[in-house]
């Protein structure tokens, strides 16, 4: 199955959820119609109005059915409140994201048309792994209603289906951000590879006139990609902050719930295994997003070591000065830089908070117990 067909399925699901009003065509272009705009608007209004009630009923259902032994009820309210805030902002900011992504798509197509090349294997692995984790999370969300033990009431199953699909909205929107960074990384890789080829040729001779013109074009495309990266980072800044806060809340509270699961005799073993696997897949999914941020900045900040052995010209000198003075970093609303090291520090903090929550649970042993 081709990459384009997989992306078409993803875009169709994003359109069904109302994350976007654009549809991916077989040619690789995105298209928006008045029908898609109206549909996305109706779905967005429905989710914004219905989700608070569904989330409230879900917390009541969890507490009433006693899935967790003496669960602290406040944790479910906190988790679903943060999730709704992330869903609401994702929906409200849809228009800005669509405009920025359509503009980026045109720039990337231009770069890849002028300098087609084979994508490096590490980028291919990251692309398919991230796609697999996102598909798994979406499928488990849609099928969660069938995982509910001893539940056959159709209205509860329907509410669970709507609830779980709405919870997929931030993950689907974050995947669009990942795709934007992936396409930028591929474009930077194409530019870097072509420049390395030119530098190898310049070791034996001076640049020809057409090669000087190509250096100017590479410079222009590199600068255009940098501007797009800054705009995408700005447009997605608050969304990534909301998604990261939602992820941190999920990681802490679900780790606490998982510990209670393991000590409960009422919970079936398949639910424990399924919940644990889903938890780790979500960790990997978010980790790959930070990996992509790290790789994009690394390709953008290429060092061009081969330039020291090349015969210099004015165009090459100008390009290298620009490249060394325009190094970019991806940050979340300017609060901190996103990279793999920062992700592991964040994961360590979340593990600490999960243990503190469990200790708080054990300290109140008169009210809560394992």
pLDDT confidence of residue 115: 59
Say if 149 falls within a structural domain: yes
DSSP state, residue 29: -
Max CA distance (Å), the chain: 83
Span 116-145, average pLDDT: 80
> Is a pLDDT exceeding 70 seen at residue 268?
no
| Residue 370, in any domain of the structure | no
Contact 123, 3 (CB under 8 A): no
Q: How many domains does the chain fold into?
A: 1
Say if CB 79 and CB 253 are below 8 A apart: yes
Least confident of 45-59, 120-134, 313-327: 313-327
Return the pLDDT at 356.
83
* CA–CA distance, 328 with 111 (Å, rounded to integer): 19
Residue 61 above 80 pLDDT? no
Residue 343 has pLDDT above 70, yes or no: yes
370 has pLDDT over 60: no
Residue 154 pLDDT? 66
177 in a structural domain:
yes
User: Domain range for residue 302?
Assistant: 3-363
Query: Residue 187 half-sphere exposure, CB side, CA atoms within 13 Å?
Result: 29
**Is residue 309 in some structural domain?**
yes
Q: Supply the pLDDT for residue 27.
A: 65
The mean pLDDT value of the chain amounts to 79
Residue 369 lies in a domain: no
Instruction: Indicate the pLDDT class of residue 267, thresholds 50, 70 and 90.
Output: low
- Per DSSP, the residues of 302-355 read ---GGGGGSPP-HHHHHHHHHHHH-----BSTTSSB-SHHHHHHHHHHHHHHHH
Predicted confidence at residue 369, as pLDDT, reads: 52
- Please name the residue that has the structure tokens 């800054």: 230
Q: Which residue intervals of the chain are DSSP H helices?
A: 3-17, 34-65, 73-92, 94-114, 121-143, 154-167, 169-201, 209-235, 237-262, 269-300, 314-325, 340-363
What is the C-alpha separation between 224 and 228, in angstroms, rounded? Answer: 6
What pLDDT was estimated at residue 366?
59
Give the model's pLDDT for residue 367: 58
- The model's pLDDT over 184-242, given as tens digits with 9 standing for 90+, comes to 888 888 888 888 888 787 777 777 888 788 888 888 888 888 888 888 888 888 888 88
Sign of CA pseudo-dihedral 13, 15, 20, 26: positive
- pLDDT number for residue 68: 55
Q: Distance (Å, rounded) from C-alpha 12 to C-alpha 168?
A: 14
User: Greater confidence, 100 or 170?
Assistant: 170
Name the token pair of 228: 């797009």
Residue 368 domain flag: no
Which SS3 state, helix, strand or coil, does residue 145 take?
Answer: helix
- pLDDT of 133 strictly over 80: yes
Q: Note whether residue 271 is domain-resident.
A: yes
Highest mean pLDDT among 105-109, 172-176, 253-257: 172-176
Q: Alpha-carbon dihedral of residues 304, 309, 315, 320, nearest 10 degrees?
A: 30
Q: Does residue 17 have a pLDDT over 70?
A: yes
């Amino acid at each position: 199955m081709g990459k384009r067909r997989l992306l078409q399925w993803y875009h169709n699901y994003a359109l069904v959820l109302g994350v976007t009003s654009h549809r991916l065509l077989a040619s690789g272009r995105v298209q928006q119609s008045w029908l898609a705009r109206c549909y996305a608007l109706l779905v967005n209004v429905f989710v914004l109005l219905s989700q608070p009630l569904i989330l409230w009923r879900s917390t009541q259902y969890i507490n009433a059915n006693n899935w967790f032994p003496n669960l602290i009820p406040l944790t479910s309210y906190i988790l679903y409140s943060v999730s709704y805030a992330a869903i609401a902002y994702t929906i409200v900011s849809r228009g800005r994201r669509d405009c920025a992504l359509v503009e980026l798509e045109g720039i990337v197509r231009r770069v890849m048309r002028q300098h087609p090349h084979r994508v490096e294997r590490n980028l291919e692995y990251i692309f398919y792994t991230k796609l697999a984790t996102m598909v798994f999370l979406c499928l488990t969300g849609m099928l969660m209603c069938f995982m509910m033990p001893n539940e056959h009431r159709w209205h509860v199953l329907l509410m669970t289906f709507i609830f779980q699909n709405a919870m997929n909205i931030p993950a689907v929107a974050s995947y669009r951000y990942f795709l934007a960074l992936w396409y930028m990384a591929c474009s930077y890789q194409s530019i870097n590879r072509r420049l390395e080829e030119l530098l190898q040729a310049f070791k034996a001779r001076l640049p020809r006139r057409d090669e000087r013109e190509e250096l100017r074009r590479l410079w222009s495309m590199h600068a255009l990609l940098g501007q797009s990266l800054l705009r995408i980072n700005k447009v997605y800044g608050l969304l990534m902050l909301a998604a990261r806060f939602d992820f941190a809340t999920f990681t802490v509270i679900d780790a606490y719930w998982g510990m209670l699961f393991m000590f409960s005799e009422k919970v079936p073993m398949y639910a424990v295994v399924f919940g644990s696997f889903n938890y780790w897949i979500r960790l990997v999914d978010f980790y790959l997003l930070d990996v992509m941020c790290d790789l994009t900045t690394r390709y953008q900040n290429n060092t061009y070591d081969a330039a020291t052995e090349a015969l210099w010209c004015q165009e090459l000198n100008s390009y290298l000065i620009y490249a060394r003075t325009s190094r970019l970093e991806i940050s979340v609303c300017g609060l901190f830089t996103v990279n793999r090291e920062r992700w592991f520090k964040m994961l360590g903090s979340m593990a600490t908070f999960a243990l503190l929550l469990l200790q708080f649970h054990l300290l109140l042993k008169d009210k809560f117990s394992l």
